[in-house]
Structure 1
Amino acid sequence: MMPRVEVSTLIRRPPAEVFAAFVDPAITTRFWFTKSSGPLAPGATVRWEWEMYGVADTVWVEDLEESERIVLKMGADGATTAEFRFVRRAEGTVVTVVESGCSGTADEAIAHVAGSTGGYTTVLCAAKALLEHGIELGAVRDKFPDNWVQGAR
């Protein structure tokens, strides 16, 4: 059995608002990627860019349930699945991200899981700061400043 990523946090906002932040690139670009070809919608294929790093990824929306769940296929071959769950709590919304489908050797899969665990944790913390306090942390942008593309910030 290959390892998988699972991270979670409470965001003290209603599920519809938190969900919208992940599907609407006008919001998502304030805490995760810098550019998107469009919003997440059922059956959509979307390109995300992190201009400061000179990298991009294509995601395919496999399933989308309003305010509850987003399932994406990711990576060059679409073999990786990322599921975002939004669960209402009295205090707000628990967002859980589960990524599976890591491939390669055991060492490669473990390295992928470690990197994705840190990445999704950073994204959730940045989303929490934005949605709860209106603060744009720049946490994803600033995570690897030595990897910035010349002139991009």
Structure 2
Amino acid sequence: MATVNNNFAKAEMLIRKPVSEVFEAFINPEITRNFWFTKGSGKLEEGKSAEWTWEIYGFSLTVLTKVIEADKRIVIKWGNSGEETIVEWVFSSLDEKETFVSITNSNFKGDADKILSEVRNSTEGFTLVLAGAKAFLEHQIQLNLVLDRFPKGLS
């Protein structure tokens, strides 16, 4: 019996905007900050690092861009040293006004409980990111989904 690697998180969403606009929203922090992190040090560029900050949480991390294929694919490596994971965005143009975005986060490490927790958290997080991106790109609405994921006062 073959084993199946389920050590990945996946979220997908149709965004009714041209692929070039959707792709740009994920590499350009001036757009991304409207639905995900609050500050980015610069556009994602292949082979270069950038810093993303979630100011309300007092949290930043460095992302290393491994692959940029314009309007098709982004691959980054991020996380704590020794626990880095890989995030891959795939952009599929359905027509001139619709883009299907698939995000996969993989390479989780640890025991089964830790991996399950990381997969669940990543799936929840990237689902919110995609929903926020959809609302912002299609309707210019900032839903604050990531901001409101962990409200102050709740642990």
Shared fold, TM over 0.5: yes
Once residues 124 and 26 of structure 2 are traced to their aligned partners in structure 1, the CA distance between those partners, rounded to angstroms, is 18
1:145 matched to 2:148? The reply is no
Decide whether the 8 Å contact of 1:53 with 1:147 is kept in 2: no
2:75 aligns with 71
2:63 aligns with 59
2:94 aligns with 89
Once residues 21 and 147 of structure 1 are traced to their aligned partners in structure 2, the CA distance between those partners, rounded to angstroms, is 31
1:3 matched to 2:31? The reply is no
**Alignment gaps of 5+ in structure 2:** none
Once residues 118 and 146 of structure 1 are traced to their aligned partners in structure 2, the CA distance between those partners, rounded to angstroms, is 18
Once residues 46 and 113 of structure 1 are traced to their aligned partners in structure 2, the CA distance between those partners, rounded to angstroms, is 24
Q: Secondary structure at the match of 2:31?
A: helix
Structural RMSD (CA): 1.4
Q: TM-score, normalised by structure 2?
A: 0.91
Moved over 6 A (4+): none
Once residues 105 and 146 of structure 1 are traced to their aligned partners in structure 2, the CA distance between those partners, rounded to angstroms, is 30
Task: Map residues 2-151 of structure 1 onto 2, 5 A cutoff.
Answer: 3-77=7-81, 79-90=84-95, 92-146=98-152
Amino acid at match of 1:138: N
In the comparison of the two structures, how many residue pairs are matched? 148
The verdict on how the C-alpha distance between 1:93 and 1:102 changes in structure 2, with shifts beyond 3 A counting, is same
Once residues 79 and 26 of structure 1 are traced to their aligned partners in structure 2, the CA distance between those partners, rounded to angstroms, is 25
Decide whether the 8 Å contact of 1:2 with 1:101 is kept in 2: no
In the TM superposition, residue 111 of structure 1 has moved relative to its aligned partner by 0.1
